[in-house]
A and B are shown apart, each in its own frame.
Chain A
Amino acid sequence: MFYLGKDQLTDKTQSLTATDHADWRKHFALLAKTSKYPALKAFYQAGVVTASTPISDVPMVALDFETTGLDSNRDSIVSIGLVDMSLTRIRCASARHWIVKPETQLHSRSVVVHGITHSAVADAPDLSTVIDELLLRLQGKIVVVHHSPIERGFLNAALKHHIHEGIEFPVIDTMALEARFSRKLSKSLWRYLMRRNLASIRLTDSRTRYHLPYYRQHNALTDALACAELLQAQCATHLTTDTLLNTIWS
């Protein structure tokens, strides 16, 4: 995932907590009817598990994008990593990693971050060539990300650009969860006043809290794996296996 400054993070997380589609199943059924692009239609038709499914039974896929910047309207996707997971196992054999040609110029600033250079993307395929497989890999699973506005926003924008239809999907956001778990006490006035003492909920810092090993960041697949491990750790630490999906998705 992209490197985020502290200010950007705290602001974005606030907007996450409200969910627009409490009933994703119904919403998917509706979208399945209205969408036209076949792979997208199939994605919606595959549906979503019910909100009351215990998390131990939820099929999930951890997803991460590297992008040219933070604004999904101006920047674009450079690479995509994903790996299937459940609460107890992350299956690397199912992992995929694509580098795609960004629609917009690579900023030298972002090159420094994810290490994907101009020459690396020169021969990379266009995102449009991986859309079908990407949608197929997400189909029927709950997407797990760290900081959902990036993956949601960029995928929506990319699909709009390439197939002229957007996309909506439920996510489990490990950053939002971490905010919830690590900042439980933040409601106290003291904590509120001392906001700068808030625990960092960035991916690497969050992982450290659960004694997960250090992984180098900004490779989309490694970040997806890192995010998957973080979710397992969070659930093992703060939740029980029969916790319902609707308490952690959005």
Chain B
Amino acid sequence: MQAEQSEVLDFLRRHPPFSTLPDKESANVANNVEVAYYRADSTILQLGQDNHQWYVIRSGAVEVFRRDGQLYNRLGTGDFFGEQSLMLNRPVRFPVTALEDTLIYIIGEQTFNYLFDNFEHFADFVEVEDQTRLRQSMAKREDDNGLLTAKVENLITTLPVTVCSSTTVHQAALRMTEENVSSLLITRSSTNQTEPETQVIGIITDLDIRRRLVAEGLSSEIPVADIMTTELIYVQSHQFVFEAMMLMLKHNVQHLPVLRKSQPIGLISHIDILRYESENSLFVVKNIFSGQSVDELASLIHDVQGCFTRMVHQDANSQMIGSAMAVVGRSFKQRLCELGEASLGPPPVPYCFLALGSMARGEQLIVTDQDNAIILSNNYDPDLHGSYFEALANFVCDGLARCGYSYCTGDIMATNTRWRQPLAVWQQYFSQWIEQPSAESLLHSAIFFDLEGIWGQTHWAEQLNRLIRQKAHKNSHFLACMARNALLRTPPLGFFKDFVMETDGRQTNSINMKRRGTAPIADLIRLHALAIGSSARNSFERLKDVIEAGILPPGRGQDLRDALEFIAMVRIRHQALDIELKREPDNNIEPEYLSDFDRKNLKEAFQILSSAQRYMKFRYQPGRVN
């Protein structure tokens, strides 16, 4: 005899979303629940714990809290909780405590996922409930971002272009070119005039034409119906942008038709969403700021890598990716400072935590050293305050190492007392570097000229940047020394077979794309930027200032920009591939993995860099009057 839990079943049938399920399914849920009793005031879900179950309140009441202990929600009979960690596959972010004696029916992750994936009404109900709460919580954040609240309809930039299913691929392709779109919606070809409304039966994209027609060697005179995608993934106009994003990720599609009452009203592409997404890689950043411990932050490494590879797949350019990753890195630092202060107590004197190098430039990638420093208040007394800031620096730097930012081999970190000094000392450092320069003293200091305050008294960082801007451009000896150092790293000549060919004819098996590519370009651009007193930090933005200042021969600046973009993207794609193949991402590229296209363009990019370096050497040679 089947063990039917009639009481559980009756309860579920009376409460949505279960009431929307077919009888067979709700009986199956009822017969597989687990039951647990929680006495008033006992903890049901702890902050940060793993959760693989969904909780339905049978009787009693619970309270849901924010991580800061503020009451977030109160739930009673028939309400549910825990779905967030199931849907996002994340540890518990909102701890739950029994307000009254409470009986819970617990549903396993597998059952939840099954219902969520197979029963639309069920999923809608759960999601709407969840989003309502998510929205409420997000609305309360200061840095509210449109991604979570923006509706899909706000994003539509392309009206849908439709063709009927009997159109040939050739005609369709012409139409796409004409309309300048990368996809078409296919409607049923019907002579039946009784259906005035268009019924969308499929979609075809550039990709479909490439994969299913060209690659297969088919004639372009076949009807589009033969190569269209019929399982139409679509989004409703009133859904949220991030839902559209989730759909794209889930189904690995780059276009989503937008329907309103089953009529197509537009099309959104991954590019549209990317614009939003790349603004601050919202989700990862939000998770960083809700991380309660270094362990929890360290567990986000995969999210960060996922965010990185996702952007690569979505054809983001290096500037978008670099700035998104810099925001992520900055968020880690800020959260670590916050956690450090929480455990060590408030700082005895004000300070400013600095980001240096690629993070300050907004050009961070996955494989990156932590380069950081601390500016202390001029009231800093080493005997009184030394141990606090040493502990704080260790906490942040160790934490960063756990989060995937390896220790700086040159020891340019806040843990080094030399780089943990009062503002006045920092002013001396910069004055000395600029006014009494030597190539040796500047050898490892170039990185300090990319400087950003990220925590605490960030205006001190601005003071230092102003000082640099005022002094550097007037000091030709300083510029000459910087130029000499910038020439220490040069690009290779090109490739020969599967080897990297050096200018002196040597051949090596791999090339470090950072040391031989992006870093020398960044050095070169920094130098020009210092020479013109630009206040920009990002290489692309600096270059724009440099081009406007007219100090480069015509066209060279634009070439340099393209070269930087290309080299950076090769490096980025290589790292994304490493992550996907579950290899440790690095900066070394073996030519055998480069396509002919990449080789050719890389060689060209290296030549541009080489000639730009020659020009730099000429321009900043000692004694030359600019």
Give chain A's interface residues, CB within 8 Å of chain B. Answer: 81, 83, 88-93, 95-99, 210-213, 215-216, 219, 221-222, 225-226, 228-229, 232-233, 236-237
Q: Which of A98, A222, A228 contacts B7 (CB 8 A)?
A: A222
Q: Is the CB of B101 within 8 A of A210?
A: yes
Q: Is the CB of A212 within 8 A of B5?
A: no
Q: Is the CB of A233 within 8 A of B31?
A: no
Q: Is the CB of B37 within 8 A of A221?
A: no
Instruction: Give CA–CA (A215, B8) in the complex, Å.
Output: 9
A146 to chain B, nearest CB (A): 15
Q: Which of B2, B8, B35, B38 contacts A236 (CB 8 A)?
A: B38
Residues of B with C-beta under 8 A to A95: 3, 5, 31
Instruction: Give CA–CA (A236, B31) in the complex, Å.
Output: 25
User: Apart from A90-B35, A92-B8, A236-B39, what are 7 other A-B pairs with CB-CB below 8 Å?
Assistant: A89-B34, A90-B34, A90-B36, A92-B32, A95-B3, A229-B35, A232-B35
Q: Is the CB of B38 within 8 A of A221?
A: no
B305 to chain A, nearest CB (A): 36
A238 to chain B, nearest CB (A): 10
B69 to chain A, nearest CB (A): 24
A88 to chain B, nearest CB (A): 6
Q: Is the CB of A216 within 8 A of B42?
A: no
B30 within 8 A of partner (CB): yes
- Nearest opposing residue in chain B for A215, CB measure: B7
Which residues of B (42-57) have their CB < 8 Å from a CB of A?
A: 42
Residues of B with C-beta under 8 A to A226: 7
Instruction: Give CA–CA (A211, B40) in the complex, Å.
Output: 10
Instruction: Give CA–CA (A211, B59) in the complex, Å.
Output: 8
If the complex has contacts A212-B37, A232-B36, A236-B37, are A98 and B42 also in contact, measured as CB distance less than 8 A?
Answer: no
- Nearest opposing residue in chain A for B111, CB measure: A93
B298 to chain A, nearest CB (A): 30
B477 within 8 A of partner (CB): no
Residues of A with C-beta under 8 A to B559: none
B58 within 8 A of partner (CB): yes
Instruction: Give CA–CA (A89, B31) in the complex, Å.
Output: 14
15 contacts between A and B (CB under 8 A): A83-B3, A89-B34, A89-B35, A90-B35, A91-B34, A92-B34, A92-B35, A93-B34, A95-B5, A97-B4, A211-B60, A212-B59, A233-B101, A236-B39, A237-B39
Residues of A with C-beta under 8 A to B39: 233, 236-237
Instruction: Give CA–CA (A81, B36) in the complex, Å.
Output: 19
Instruction: Convert B89-106 into 0s and 1s, putting 1 for each residue whose CB lies closer than 8 angstroms to a CB of A.
Output: 000000000001101001
**Chain B interface size, under 10 / 10 to 19 / 20 to 34 / 35 or more:** 20 to 34
Q: Is the CB of B36 within 8 A of A92?
A: no
If the complex has contacts A93-B31, A93-B32, A99-B1, are A232 and B37 also in contact, measured as CB distance less than 8 A?
Answer: yes
B113 within 8 A of partner (CB): no
B33 within 8 A of partner (CB): yes
Q: Which of A89, A225, A232 contacts B5 (CB 8 A)?
A: A225
Residues of B with C-beta under 8 A to A99: 1
Residues of B with C-beta under 8 A to A211: 59-60, 100-101
Q: Is the CB of A221 within 8 A of B103?
A: no
Q: Is the CB of B34 within 8 A of A221?
A: no
Q: Is the CB of B3 within 8 A of A229?
A: no
B425 to chain A, nearest CB (A): 57
Q: Which of A88, A89, A98, A233 contacts B1 (CB 8 A)?
A: A98
Instruction: Give CA–CA (A92, B107) in the complex, Å.
Output: 11
Among B6, B58, B106, find the residue whose CB has the most chain A CB atoms closer than 10 A: B6
Instruction: Give CA–CA (A89, B34) in the complex, Å.
Output: 6
B82 to chain A, nearest CB (A): 15
Residues of A with C-beta under 8 A to B58: 213
Residues of A with C-beta under 8 A to B36: 88-90, 232
A100 to chain B, nearest CB (A): 9
Residues of A with C-beta under 8 A to B59: 211-213
Instruction: Give CA–CA (A98, B3) in the complex, Å.
Output: 8
If the complex has contacts A93-B32, A210-B37, A213-B58, are A236 and B6 also in contact, measured as CB distance less than 8 A?
Answer: no
If the complex has contacts A212-B103, A236-B42, are A221 and B4 also in contact, measured as CB distance less than 8 A?
Answer: yes
Instruction: Give CA–CA (A21, B358) in the complex, Å.
Output: 75
B610 to chain A, nearest CB (A): 69
Q: Which of A96, A213, A215, A216 contacts B3 (CB 8 A)?
A: A96
B15 to chain A, nearest CB (A): 13
Residues of A with C-beta under 8 A to B106: 89
Q: Is the CB of A229 within 8 A of B34?
A: no
- Nearest opposing residue in chain B for A88, CB measure: B36
Residues of A with C-beta under 8 A to B8: 92, 225
- Nearest opposing residue in chain B for A82, CB measure: B3
Residues of B with C-beta under 8 A to A233: 37, 39, 101
B33 to chain A, nearest CB (A): 5
Instruction: Give CA–CA (A237, B102) in the complex, Å.
Output: 12
Q: Is the CB of B103 within 8 A of A92?
A: no
Among B3, B36, B58, B106, find the residue whose CB has the most chain A CB atoms closer than 10 A: B3
B358 to chain A, nearest CB (A): 49
Instruction: Give CA–CA (A40, B34) in the complex, Å.
Output: 29
Residues of A with C-beta under 8 A to B103: 212-213, 229
Which residues of B (569-602) have their CB < 8 Å from a CB of A?
A: none
Which residues of B (71-125) have their CB < 8 Å from a CB of A?
A: 100-101, 103, 106
- Nearest opposing residue in chain B for A237, CB measure: B39
Residues of B with C-beta under 8 A to A88: 36
- Nearest opposing residue in chain A for B11, CB measure: A213
* Shortest 8 CB-CB contacts between residues of A and residues of B: A95-B3, A232-B37, A90-B35, A211-B101, A213-B59, A236-B39, A97-B3, A93-B32
- Nearest opposing residue in chain A for B59, CB measure: A213
Residues of A with C-beta under 8 A to B4: 97, 221
Among B4, B6, B35, B59, find the residue whose CB has the most chain A CB atoms closer than 10 A: B35
Residues of B with C-beta under 8 A to A83: 3
Instruction: Give CA–CA (A25, B359) in the complex, Å.
Output: 67
B6 to chain A, nearest CB (A): 6
